[in-house]
């Protein structure tokens, strides 16, 4: 066993109101520099929809992630040799057209217009070339455009859905959608790291955050193609790739990442998971429908005496183990089994998990209320407006079992809480429903607490990062007493 | 006149080579140590993805092959001379060199067109990029001229250029090999040293950091900020 700790995340999709506060918080801190205007380390997509960059889930086009060949893993976009022949021109790399060209407006024109019958207008100006442009796409261009034949109908997750199911999704007045906030998944088997020829990308040992060493990045661009979630971005100005850093300077000082901190819907949870790193390759090479379970099995019980002993042997600090014991992510993913990783079939073992959305599924019942009678207690997920198959394509490699489990449990808890607070459901029925959904009163209360009432400190359990030890490995802090500091003192200036 | 020629020769074939070689090493190493952030291929593929292929790919295959050929001529002059003894083989050698050169120039033309025509690419084009491209084009064109009009470049390289370069490396430059050469050949040499001189100041340094270790590297990289076995827990007082 090789136990490591990983800062992991859960997003509860039912709670996301699509306000994009998270994206703005991130943008303000990290990506309002030249060359990064188009980047959204955190973005919120409307599903069904094509996402950002357009159709990022289409791995026929972008060749992101891994593929399995006779039990062996290899990068879909490249192999070792191909990374050299493709280095001059990367055939799978998205270009700015697949994202959008950032722009501002020529506001000056509003202040000194020539006399005319029309109102003066501020024409859009490209933030790249500084010239007037026609805007073709922008951030969240397909926001709320469910039902659109340009966006929603081209969602790659509609694959394997019957025509009937599609028609149902797109019938006017029955349109269905939900929000899908995305950041880097800080995967256990990151394709970006594996693809970087320079070795500039790495996973931090102590917390699993995936980073790009800006000094070693040489703009070979492999990571942009290799990340199946398209969460590494190319900074065209500095000539370096950049990505979500999980706000590590904040995390190291005990603060939640900006998108987590600012989330209005309080959909976000962050905590430590202990896992067995020896199982990474084996798990990632399994058949698609087994990965969800196997990845869950890699996550270890932080209360288990053996696990604690092994973790300590591996140098994991007591404070980290304690954080793992209080981790909300552990509860959602492992204990309750209601949070699922996105697109396991990319085989990167993402460590951001999603609680699949119940709302659109429930309202499948022809707009009627959910019935409270015994037999009909569960909404008929098979008749759902949002086909389970669709969610399964997103969150469990096509296997409906896991999605169904998560939805049934949530639905039973909702009924149970309704019985408790409103009382128009017989509590006995509700309890029976809980048992049928593999839950219990205690668990229902715990989930209710976590989802609806949890406080800031319960949602974000951030371990001390012990940077004091990190520093001592490289430098003697006392040596630098009375100096101006030490570290990365070079100005990040574009090369000649 | 003769004296003037001698001054020119001293400048171009003694001073310039040493200046270039020392600058090359000093500045490349300095930048790598002190301004590492600037060591990048500065790719512009993200801004324009289609013309990009027709410029960068032929250019790089062309230039890398032709440089390899030059290196081979320099390292194994004997082999080259023996090979070139048979006229047919000389033609094969010279025609391949010509083809690599043409590939390079086609790539360069496309790179120029792209950098002129695409507004976005234009904004990330620095004066250094133009200098680099112009001087490389000059080099390739003069090389093609030599290959086309004096079809014995490879043999000439083996008999004259190799000894000259060796004499430079041994700090006793011998210009007798150079003097008899046609003007275009001399120009090609001087321009080459100028490229070496400017090399470390431009994006060309990307060729120095070819990521060969990737071939044998493990896929995943984990960086530990502390010694994993030596962390101090409350009860683990050993450290
Ligand atoms: C050693 C292997 C080499 C590799 C892996 C390599 C790779 C690259 C890459 C990735 C780019 C950026 C292309 C882009 O815009 O996306 C580039 C550009 C460039 N390379 Fe290389 N290169 C190599 C050798 C060379 C050599 C030997 C030269 C010339 C002496 C050279 C000259 C250039 C030039 C001039 C550009 C800029 C082209 C432009 O203006 O768009 N490269 N190279
Ligand atoms: S801030 Fe929270 S609720 Fe708002 S869009 Fe982002 S994830 Fe959803």
Tens digits of residue pLDDT in B201-227: 999 999 999 999 999 999 999 988 766
pLDDT value, residue A377: 53
Residue A199 falls in which region: left (phi positive, over 0), alpha (psi -120 to 50) or beta: left
Least confident stretch, A80-84, A278-282, B148-152 = B148-152
pLDDT value, residue A484: 60
Other beta carbons less than 10 A from residue A468's beta carbon: 11
Instruction: Give which of A263, A217, A229, A198 is closest to A351, Cα–Cα.
Output: A229
Other beta carbons less than 10 A from residue A473's beta carbon: 11
Handedness of CA A431, A436, A442, A447 (dihedral sign): negative
Identify the residue with better confidence: B199 or A482. Answer: B199
CA distance A295 to A71: 16
CATH 1.10.3650.10 fits A362-454, yes or no: yes
Our answer on whether the CB atom of B160 is closer than 6 Å to any ligand 1 atom is no
**Cβ-based contacts under 8 A for chains A and B:** 174
Total domains in chain B come to: 1
Query: Looking at the DSSP assignment, which residues form a beta bridge with residue A268?
Result: A11
The atom number, within ligand 2, closest to the CA of A266 reads: 2
Three-state secondary-structure class, residue A104: strand
Handedness of CA A137, A140, A143, A145 (dihedral sign): positive
pLDDT value, residue B234: 44
Q: What is the mean pLDDT of residues B166-193?
A: 91
pLDDT confidence tier of residue A93, bands split at 50, 70 and 90: very high
Our answer on whether the CB atom of B133 is closer than 6 Å to any ligand 1 atom is yes
CA distance A242 to A88: 20
Our answer on whether the CB atom of A111 is closer than 6 Å to any ligand 1 atom is no
In a domain, B208, yes or no: yes
What does each C-alpha distance from B74 to B34, B89, B143 come to in angstroms? 33, 18, 16
The closest ligand to the CA of B47 turns out to be 1
Least confident stretch, A439-443, B59-63, B94-98, B210-214 = B94-98
CA distance A86 to A223: 13
pLDDT tens track for A108-119: 888 888 888 888
In what helix (H) or strand (E) does residue A321 lie, and over which residues does it extend? Answer: helix A318-325
Q: What is the percent of chain A where pLDDT is above 70?
A: 91
pLDDT value, residue A444: 97
pLDDT tops 90 at residue A225: yes
Strands (E), A317-415: 352-355
pLDDT tens track for A104-161: 999 988 888 888 888 888 999 999 999 999 998 999 898 888 777 778 888 888 888 8
Residues of A in contact with B62 (CB under 8 A): none
Is B176:A471 a contact under the CB 8 Å cutoff?
Answer: no
pLDDT tens track for A255-294: 999 999 999 999 999 999 999 999 999 999 999 999 999 9
Instruction: Give which of A238, A202, A200 is closest to A492, Cα–Cα.
Output: A238
Question: How far does CA A459 lie from the centroid of its chain?
Answer: 16
CA distance A18 to A54: 18
pLDDT tops 60 at residue A49: yes
pLDDT tens track for A357-406: 986 554 444 444 444 433 445 566 776 778 888 999 999 988 999 999 99
Mutate-to-test residue for ligand 2 from A44, A183, A456, highest number of ligand atoms within 8 A of CB: A44
Question: Mutation test of the interface with chain A: which of B219, B223, B232, B235, choosing the one with the most A Cβ atoms within 10 A?
Answer: B219
CA distance A136 to B99: 42
Three-state secondary-structure class, residue B165: helix
| Domain coordinates in residue numbering, chain A | 362-454
Pairing of strands A210-212, A201-204: antiparallel
Residues of B in contact with A203 (CB under 8 A): 220-223
Residues of A in contact with B221 (CB under 8 A): 193, 196, 199, 201-203
Helices A427-436 and A400-421 pack at an angle, to 10 degrees, of 160
Three-state secondary-structure class, residue A204: strand
Residue A421 falls in which region: left (phi positive, over 0), alpha (psi -120 to 50) or beta: alpha
Question: Measured in angstroms, how far is the CA atom of residue B211 from the centroid of ligand 1?
Answer: 13
pLDDT value, residue B210: 92
Instruction: Give which of A351, A347, A274 is closest to A308, Cα–Cα.
Output: A274
Report the 3 state secondary structure along B92-159: HHHHHHHHHHHHHHHHHHHHHHHHHHCHHHHHCCCHHHHHHHHHHHHHHHHHHHHHHHCCCHHHHHHH
Our answer on whether the CB atom of A133 is closer than 6 Å to any ligand 1 atom is no
pLDDT tops 90 at residue B29: yes
Query: Looking at the DSSP assignment, which residues form a beta bridge with residue A46?
Result: A179
pLDDT value, residue A477: 66
Is the bond leading into A48 cis (omega within 30 degrees of zero)? Answer: yes
Instruction: Give which of B209, A191, A91 is closest to A201, Cα–Cα.
Output: A191
CA distance A145 to A140: 10
Handedness of CA A427, A433, A439, A444 (dihedral sign): negative
Q: Can you list the pairs that B172-177 forms with residues at least 24 positions away whose Cβ atoms lie under 8 Å? A: B173/B13, B173/B14, B173/B17, B175/B9, B175/B13, B175/B14
Question: Measured in angstroms, how far is the CA atom of residue A22 from the centroid of ligand 2?
Answer: 6
Q: What is the mean pLDDT of residues B140-163?
A: 86
CA distance A34 to A446: 46
Is B217:B40 a contact under the CB 8 Å cutoff?
Answer: no
Residues of A in contact with B47 (CB under 8 A): 95-96, 128, 236
- Longest Cα pair distance anywhere in chain A, in angstroms? 81
Inter-chain CB proximity A494 and B42 less than 8 Å: yes
pLDDT confidence tier of residue B239, bands split at 50, 70 and 90: very low
CA distance A152 to A171: 12
Is A10:A339 a contact under the CB 8 Å cutoff?
Answer: yes
CATH number of the domain where residue B169 is located:
1.20.950.20
The closest ligand to the CA of A183 turns out to be 2
Our answer on whether the CB atom of A17 is closer than 6 Å to any ligand 2 atom is yes
What does each C-alpha distance from A268 to A10, A330, A360, A494, B93 come to in angstroms? 6, 13, 20, 36, 66
Q: 């798990």: which residue's tokens?
A: A283
Inter-chain CB proximity A318 and B233 less than 8 Å: yes
Is A191:A65 a contact under the CB 8 Å cutoff?
Answer: yes
What is residue A480's DSSP assignment? G
**Closest-CA residue in chain A for B204?**
A496
Backbone angles phi, psi at A242, to 5 degrees: -140, 160
Q: What is the ipTM of this complex?
A: 0.89
**Closest-CA residue in chain A for B126?**
A496
Is A396:A402 a contact under the CB 8 Å cutoff?
Answer: yes
CA distance A398 to B222: 31
Mutate-to-test residue for ligand 1 from B28, B41, B51, B138, highest number of ligand atoms within 8 A of CB: B41
Q: How high is the mean pLDDT of chain A?
A: 89
CA distance B147 to A275: 63
pLDDT value, residue A323: 96
Instruction: Give which of B205, B215, B227, B216 is closest to B30, Cα–Cα.
Output: B205
CA distance B152 to B164: 17
Is A312:B228 a contact under the CB 8 Å cutoff?
Answer: no
Q: Residue with the nearest Cα to atom 1 of ligand 2?
A: A263
The atom number, within ligand 2, closest to the CA of A20 reads: 5
Q: What is the mean pLDDT of residues A420-438?
A: 91
pLDDT value, residue A155: 87
Our answer on whether the CB atom of A87 is closer than 6 Å to any ligand 1 atom is yes
CA distance B91 to A360: 74
pLDDT value, residue B237: 41
Q: What is the mean pLDDT of residues A443-464?
A: 95
Residues of A in contact with B204 (CB under 8 A): none
Query: What tokens were used for A269?
Result: 């949870």
pLDDT value, residue A458: 95
Query: What tokens were used for B106?
Result: 């086609």
CA distance B63 to B102: 10
The atom number, within ligand 2, closest to the CA of A11 reads: 7
Is A198:B209 a contact under the CB 8 Å cutoff?
Answer: yes
Query: What tokens were used for A459?
Result: 């949602």
pLDDT tops 90 at residue A343: yes
In a domain, B145, yes or no: yes
The domain in which residue B167 lies consists of: 2-212
pLDDT confidence tier of residue A102, bands split at 50, 70 and 90: very high
pLDDT value, residue A372: 40
Identify the residue with better confidence: A168 or B46. Answer: B46
Query: Looking at the DSSP assignment, which residues form a beta bridge with residue A271?
Result: A8
Pairing of strands A3-12, A201-204: unpaired
Identify the residue with better confidence: A229 or B178. Answer: A229
In this prediction the pTM is 0.90
Inter-chain CB proximity A199 and B211 less than 8 Å: yes
**Closest-CA residue in chain B for A190?**
B220
The atom number, within ligand 1, closest to the CA of B114 reads: 41
Q: What is the mean pLDDT of residues A163-183?
A: 81
pLDDT tops 50 at residue A169: yes
Query: What tokens were used for B110?
Result: 């496309």
pLDDT tens track for A399-428: 999 999 999 999 899 989 999 999 888 999
Residues of B in contact with A489 (CB under 8 A): none
DSSP letter for each residue of B218-238: -S--EE-SS-TT----TT-TT
Is A121:A109 a contact under the CB 8 Å cutoff?
Answer: yes
Is the bond leading into B38 cis (omega within 30 degrees of zero)? Answer: no
């Amino acid at each position: 066993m090789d136990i490591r700790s990983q800062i992991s995340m859960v997003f509860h999709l039912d709670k996301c109101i699509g306000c994009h506060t998270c994206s703005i918080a991130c943008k303000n801190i990290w990506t309002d520099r030249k060359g990064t205007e188009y980047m959204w380390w955190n973005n919120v997509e409307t599903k069904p929809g094509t996402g950002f960059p357009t159709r990022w889930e289409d791995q026929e086009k972008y060749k992101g992630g891994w593929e399995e060949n006779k039990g062996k893993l290899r990068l879909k976009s490249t192999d070792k040799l191909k990374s050299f022949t493709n280095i001059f021109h990367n055939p799978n790399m998205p270009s700015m057209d697949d994202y959008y060209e950032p722009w501002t407006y020529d506001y000056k024109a509003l202040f000194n217009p020539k006399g005319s019958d029309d109102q003066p207008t501020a024409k859009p100006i490209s933030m790249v070339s500084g010239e007037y442009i026609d805007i073709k796409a922008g951030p969240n261009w397909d926001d709320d455009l469910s039902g659109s034949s340009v966006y929603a109908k081209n969602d790659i997750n509609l694959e394997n859905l019957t025509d009937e199911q599609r028609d149902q999704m797109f019938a006017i007045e029955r349109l269905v959608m939900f929000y899908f906030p995305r950041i880097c998944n800080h995967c256990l088997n990151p394709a970006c790291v594996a693809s970087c020829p320079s070795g500039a990308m790495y996973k931090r040992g102590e917390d699993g955050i995936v980073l790009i060493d800006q000094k070693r990045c040489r703009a070979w661009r492999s990571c942009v193609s290799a990340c199946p979630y398209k969460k590494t971005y190319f900074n065209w100005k500095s000539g370096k790739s950049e990505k979500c850093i999980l706000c590590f300077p904040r995390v190291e000082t005990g603060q939640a990442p900006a998108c987590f901190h600012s989330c209005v819907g309080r959909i976000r949870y962050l905590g430590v998971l202990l896992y067995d790193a020896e199982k990474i390759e084996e798990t990632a090479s399994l058949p698609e429908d087994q990965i969800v379970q196997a990845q869950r099995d890699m996550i270890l019980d932080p209360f288990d005496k053996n696990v604690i002993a092994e973790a300590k042997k591996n140098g994991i600090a007591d404070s980290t183990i304690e954080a793992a014991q209080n981790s909300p992510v552990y509860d959602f993913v492992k204990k309750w089994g209601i949070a699922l990783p996105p697109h396991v079939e990319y085989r990167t073992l993402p460590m951001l998990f999603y609680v699949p959305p119940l709302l659109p599924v429930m309202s499948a019942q022809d707009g009627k209320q959910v019935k409270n009678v015994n037999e009909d207690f569960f909404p008929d997920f098979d008749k759902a407006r949002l086909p389970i198959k669709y969610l399964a394509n997103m969150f469990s490699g096509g296997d409906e079992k896991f999605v169904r489990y998560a939805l049934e449990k949530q639905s039973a808890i909702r009924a149970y809480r309704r019985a408790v607070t409103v009382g128009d459901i017989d509590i006995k029925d509700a309890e029976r429903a809980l048992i049928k959904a593999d839950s219990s009163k205690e668990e229902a209360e715990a989930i209710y607490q976590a989802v609806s009432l949890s406080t800031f400190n319960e949602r974000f359990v951030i371990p001390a990062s012990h940077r004091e030890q990190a520093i001592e490995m490289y430098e003697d802090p006392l040596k630098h007493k009375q100096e101006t500091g030490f570290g990365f003192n070079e100005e990040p200036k574009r090369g000649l | 006149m003769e004296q003037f020629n001698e001054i020119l020769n001293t400048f171009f074939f003694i001073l310039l080579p040493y200046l270039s070689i020392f600058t090359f090493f000093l500045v490349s190493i300095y930048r790598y140590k002190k301004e590492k952030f600037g060591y990048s291929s500065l790719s512009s593929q993200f801004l324009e993805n289609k013309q990009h292929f027709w410029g960068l790919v032929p250019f790089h295959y062309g230039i890398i092959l032709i440089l390899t050929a030059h290196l081979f001529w320099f390292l194994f002059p004997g082999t080259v001379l023996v090979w070139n003894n048979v006229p047919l083989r000389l033609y094969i050698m010279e025609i391949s060199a010509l083809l690599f050169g043409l590939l390079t120039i086609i790539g360069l033309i496309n790179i120029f067109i792209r950098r002129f025509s695409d507004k976005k690419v234009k904004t990330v084009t620095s004066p250094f990029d133009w200098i680099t491209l112009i001087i490389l084009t000059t080099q390739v064109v003069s090389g093609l001229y030599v290959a086309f009009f004096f079809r014995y470049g490879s043999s000439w390289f083996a008999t004259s250029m190799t000894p000259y370069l060796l004499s430079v490396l041994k700090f006793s430059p011998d210009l007798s090999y150079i003097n008899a050469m046609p003007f275009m050949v001399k120009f090609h040499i001087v321009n080459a040293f100028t490229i070496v001189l400017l090399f470390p100041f431009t994006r060309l340094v990307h060729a120095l950091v070819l990521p060969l270790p990737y071939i044998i590297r493990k896929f995943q990289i984990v960086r530990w900020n502390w010694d994993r076995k030596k962390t101090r827990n409350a009860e683990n007082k050993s450290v």
